[in-house]
Amino acid sequence: MKEAKKQGGLNAEIQSRIGHQLRAMYDDVVRQGVPDRFAELIRKLDGPEAAAAQIDKTDEGRD
Amino acid sequence: MPLTDSLRDDILASVPSLRAFAISLSGNGDRADDLVQETLLRAIANIDSFQPGSNLPAWLFTILRNLFRSDYRKRRREVEDAEGNYAKTLKTQPAQNAHLEFEEFRNALDKLPQDQREALILVGASGFSYEDAAAICGCAVGTIKSRVNRARSKLSALLYVEGAEDFGPDETVRAVIGGNGG
């Protein structure tokens, strides 16, 4: 009984540690904000056609 | 809906979390940014199909997740690239101990099946509800819940059970050790 309780406590501790590590990894990237290349990309595109054209261009560049 | 300035701002505001999602999924910083770029282009190319007032981040995450999936089928992840490239994307290098712990965590995350990894990230890090995560992954809410639970148990087994001796005297353990008096 006492053993089971201790086990549950340790498990909760591990789960909270995993949650913390996962968010730390993720938030590290979120804190970097918006890289210039994406800000420029979104500003530059004047509409869906421009975006579609750029997708076609990218696809052609691939093998 | 048309691409208004406010919609552009909203898309831009989602970029940091889209990058975090892409890096968490792919484990590769360069590839993650390519995924984000393609997501943005596709989102804007298909902006007419976005329902005004619906959840924009969830819509963008769905596009990114589907792109990652189709790309994944074409080529297997370059696992050996993962750690080095990911570390380069970090603005501040973590201190030595924290860095080791971080690498261990990243490696364990990479060992999860893809379904479980994406469910865990969406719910545990991106902060989506189970319902939104289910919509993003195109599956039932119950399926997401069970994937998240399995991901958590597997990570806990990989990180803390197999290497139980590595589990240092943290606060809980100290409390247990110190709590037998009285």
> What's the pLDDT tens digit per position in B89-105?
555 555 667 777 888 99
Residue B141 counted as domain residue: yes
A33 Cα to chain B: minimum distance (Å): 5
**Inter-chain touch B12–A38, beta carbons under 8 Å:** yes
Partner residue opposite B120 with nearest CB, options A13, A22, A41: A22
B119 Cα to chain A: minimum distance (Å): 12
**Inter-chain touch B89–A29, beta carbons under 8 Å:** yes
Query: Residue B92's pLDDT is what?
Result: 52
Whole-number average pLDDT of chain B? 83
Residue pair B60/B43 in contact (Cβ under 8 Å)? The answer is: yes
Q: Where are the domains of chain A?
A: 1-32, 34-63
Q: What is the CATH classification number for the domain harbouring B160?
A: 1.10.10.10
pTM of the full predicted structure?
A: 0.79
Sequence-distant contacts of B65-72: CB under 8 A, at least 24 apart: B65/B21, B65/B25, B65/B118, B65/B136, B65/B137, B67/B35, B67/B38, B67/B39, B67/B42, B68/B22, B68/B25, B68/B26, B68/B35, B71/B35, B72/B114
Q: Specify whether B1 is located in the same domain as B63.
A: yes
Which residues are within 8 A (CB) of A41 and not within 5 positions of it... i.e. 6 or more apart? B37, B40, B41
Q: Which residue range(s) make up the domain with B26?
A: 1-91
- Quickly state the pLDDT bin for A2 (edges 50, 70, 90): very low
What the block records as the tokens of A53 is 């054209």
Residue B176 counted as domain residue: no
- Indicate the DSSP class of residue B139: S
Query: Residue A9's pLDDT is what?
Result: 66
Q: What is the CATH classification number for the domain harbouring B81?
A: 1.10.1740.10
Question: Among B69, B91, B113, where does a domain finish?
Answer: B91
> What's the pLDDT tens digit per position in B27-53?
888 889 999 999 999 999 999 999 988
Considering its fold, how many domains does chain B have in total? 2
Alpha carbons B22 and B116: distance in angstroms, whole number: 15
Residue B110 counted as domain residue: yes
What the block records as the tokens of B162 is 């197999």
Q: Specify whether B115 is located in the same domain as B158.
A: yes
Query: Residue B176's pLDDT is what?
Result: 52
Helix, strand, or coil here: A1?
coil
